[in-house]
Amino acid sequence: MIRIQEARNRSEMKAFVRFPFTLYKSSPYWVPPLINDELDALDPGVNPVFEQAEARYFLAFKGKRIVGRVAAIVNWTEVRHQGIPKMRFGWFDFEDDMEISGILLRTVAEIGKGHGLEFMEGPMGFSNLDKVGVLTEGFDHIGTMVTWYNYPYYAEHLKSHGFQLEKEYIESKFPNANADPKYFVRIQEVIRKRYGLRPLNFEKTSEILPWVDQMFDLFNDTYARLSSFVPMSESQKAYFKKRYISLINPEFIKFILDSEDRVIAFAIVMPSFSRALQKARGRLYPTGFYHLLKARKNNRDAVFYLIGIHPDYQNKGVTSIIFNEYYHAFKKRGVQMCYRTPELADNLAVQQIWKHFSPEVYKRRCTFRKSLK
């Protein structure tokens, strides 16, 4: 018999965060989070996303053994201001047992019904900057710090419980050698002169900080048209600035400025921390910090995390300037392979940006939806 228990205190939340460490202990592809960072992300007293969202966390037990977990999430900005009556669920992990996955999903559904919501969708986090989707292809590739990994049976469980595919995401990769300068060097020179643009590069993290708020404002402008987009608040901007900027090699953050020094485009590339996080085993100390610092400074793999271009400059060749800057930065740093984080499969405009790099789709993931009526 499966028993559900809500995680309420610090000890129970640690058990919630640590469950995947047991579930995936034999997987060479799962990338563990840093335990304390994960606890902070799920804590209403730390993460400002809870100004607009709420969450409850549940553990499934078989006897005294934890066999599953799920987060039941409502983003009230999405529900009240965008009119999307959605119950979110995420941090969804479970042993291969239909009874376990079923009781976890029913627990989320009951909360959604109690709020008068019309459907549930997941797995997904609190907002657009969180992890998303059940992996459906690419199980034999290592994960990243910004995606969930799961076993192949997850999607089959969701389908068996009456869920339908809602959104599909793709992840692709390409060797840096595919970045042929002939596709962007001459064009970027023309674009810079035509629109009075210039790139802004950095060598120190301290140089980036005065520009970060402009970048997040541009992020809101860039992604506002995407489905289910929830804008970042001022407190969220400060939170992400503190949490992530220091992790990124400053040479891998690129801004494009107009003639009045306004940020009209940005790109964030992160070194791959996957192997370092596996070695850290969820902890910064005693050796985790060393592995992460080493990966930040010397890494042959780069992950394109975000690219944002102001709507007034989209489809005007601005990406050629960005690619030119990264071409030189990657060549200097010895980057060999480039990875892209999940993008909506139907976002053809984004996919066109990368067409000259001959990207290979190596992973697919989906969110699933079910009516609560």
The string of pLDDT tens digits covering residues 189-242 is 999 999 999 999 998 988 998 888 888 889 888 877 665 577 778 888 888 887
- Please compute the mean of the pLDDT values over residues 66-78 and round it to a whole number: 96
Residues 161 and 263 in one domain: no
Number of structural domains in the chain: 2
* CATH code of the domain in which 14 resides: 3.40.630.30
Residue 369 lies in a domain: no
Residues 92 and 208 in one domain: no
Name the domain boundary from 142, 171, 200: 171
pLDDT tens, position by position, 289-321 = 999 989 988 899 999 988 889 999 988 999 999
Name the domain boundary from 171, 192, 216: 171
Q: How many degrees, rounded to 5, is the angle at CA 314 between CA 312 and CA 316?
A: 100
Residues 240 and 185 in one domain: yes
pTM: 0.91
pLDDT of residue 227: 59
Residue 181 lies in a domain: yes
Residues 240 and 287 in one domain: yes
Domain that holds residue 342: 174-361
pLDDT of residue 226: 65
Name the residue type at position 329: A
Name the domain boundary from 119, 152, 171: 171
Residue 243 lies in a domain: yes
Residues 273 and 222 in one domain: yes
Other C-beta atoms lying within 10 Å of the C-beta of residue 262? 12
Q: How confident is the model at residue 170 (pLDDT cuts 50, 70, 90)?
A: very high
CA dist 373 and 371 (Å) reads 6
pLDDT of residue 234: 85
Q: Is 286 exposed, middle or buried (0-12, 13-18, 19+ CB in 10 A)?
A: exposed
pLDDT tens, position by position, 215-226 = 888 988 887 766
Residues 85 and 216 in one domain: no
Q: Is the pLDDT score of 284 beyond 80? A: yes
Average pLDDT taken over every residue of the chain: 93
Residue 290 lies in a domain: yes
